């Protein structure tokens, strides 16, 4: 493979491609984002995945978008299950970001994923982390192929706050030292 073959264009005219790639990545990392868990379920199989590429897309209908790596287990589960649940994470619970940056280990009798208790979202049945600040339960409305990622467009079919109510602060990317994307 040619050196730096994986550096993605386009490039400004005359730019040093390697330096520009590093600069562009640092700028992209500054986009302000939240940190969420993308909960998916196909039958008895559940997963929770850390995600930051999440935003509301429309107000009528109520659409949210989550951009998911095309090879992620979560994408296959969302397709099979026809939906997903987004956990809005309590800011005090930032350790979950690392826990769910790899495929979750499910313990069906204990009802845990990677040692953390979950609840099933009311409509799709996809998992929501117990102790979540809030959740959005979404029917998979469509997919948009974006290359490295697939945008999962979900229509919100149920939403709610966790037991602590509306005053809980929600986790954001700047609360951790981890970067994604770029
Ligand atoms: C801070 C952070 C943010 C992430 N955001 C996303 C994201 O928005 N979309 C995505 O597909 N993967 C994201 N990931 C990577 C996934 O969490 C990770 O690749 C996961 O293991 C893949 O999910 P899977 O268990 O479904 O295969 C992120 C990871 C970290 C650490």
Give the ranges where 34-175 is alpha helix by DSSP (H): 73-81, 96-99
Which atom of ligand 1 approaches the CA of 69 most closely?
A: 11
Give a yes or no: residue 181 inside a domain. Answer: no
The answer on pLDDT for 140 being more than 80 is: yes
Range of the domain at 41: 35-175
Give a yes or no: residue 131 inside a domain. Answer: yes
Q: Is residue 27 classed as helix, strand or coil in its secondary structure? A: helix
Give a yes or no: residue 66 inside a domain. Answer: yes
Give a yes or no: residue 166 inside a domain. Answer: yes
From atom 4 of ligand 1, which residue's Cα is the shortest distance away? 51
How far, in Å, are 26, 27, 81, 120 from residue 31 at the CA level?
9, 7, 31, 31
**pLDDT tens, position by position, 157-176:** 999 999 999 999 999 999 99
Give a yes or no: residue 14 inside a domain. Answer: no
Tell me if 52 CB under 6 Å of ligand 1. yes
The answer on pLDDT for 2 being more than 60 is: no
- CATH, residue 90: 2.30.110.10
Q: How far apart are CA 108 and CA 42, in angstroms?
A: 13
**pLDDT tens, position by position, 16-66:** 999 999 999 999 999 999 999 999 999 999 999 999 999 999 999 999 999
Tell me if 87 CB under 6 Å of ligand 1. no
Give a yes or no: residue 113 inside a domain. Answer: yes
**pLDDT tens, position by position, 80-124:** 999 999 999 999 999 999 999 999 999 999 999 999 999 999 999
Q: How confident is the model at residue 4 (pLDDT cuts 50, 70, 90)?
A: low
Sheet holding 45-51, edge to edge: 45-51, 36-42, 83-88, 134-145, 149-161, 63-69, 54-58
Give a yes or no: residue 119 inside a domain. Answer: yes
Number of domains in the chain: 1
Give a yes or no: residue 125 inside a domain. Answer: yes
pTM: 0.96
Q: What was the pLDDT predicted at 1?
A: 41
Q: What was the pLDDT predicted at 6?
A: 85
């Amino acid at each position: 493979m040619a050196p730096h073959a994986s550096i993605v264009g386009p490039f400004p005219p005359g730019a040093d491609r390697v330096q520009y790639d590093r600069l562009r990545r640092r700028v992209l990392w500054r986009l302000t984002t939240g940190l969420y868990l993308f909960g998916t379920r196909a039958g008895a199989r559940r997963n929770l995945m850390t995600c930051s590429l999440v935003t509301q897309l429309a107000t009528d209908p109520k659409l949210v978008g989550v951009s998911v790596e095309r090879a992620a287990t979560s994408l296959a589960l969302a397709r099979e299950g026809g939906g997903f649940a987004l956990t809005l994470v309590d800011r005090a619970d930032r350790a979950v970001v690392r826990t769910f940056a790899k495929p979750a280990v499910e313990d069906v009798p204990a009802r845990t994923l990677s040692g953390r208790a979950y609840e099933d979202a009311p409509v799709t049945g996809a998992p929501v982390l117990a102790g979540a600040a809030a959740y959005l339960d979404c029917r998979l409305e469509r997919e948009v192929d974006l290359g490295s990622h697939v945008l999962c467009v979900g229509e919100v079919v149920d939403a709610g706050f966790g037991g602590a109510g509306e005053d809980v602060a929600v986790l954001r990317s700047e609360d951790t030292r981890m970067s994604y994307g770029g």
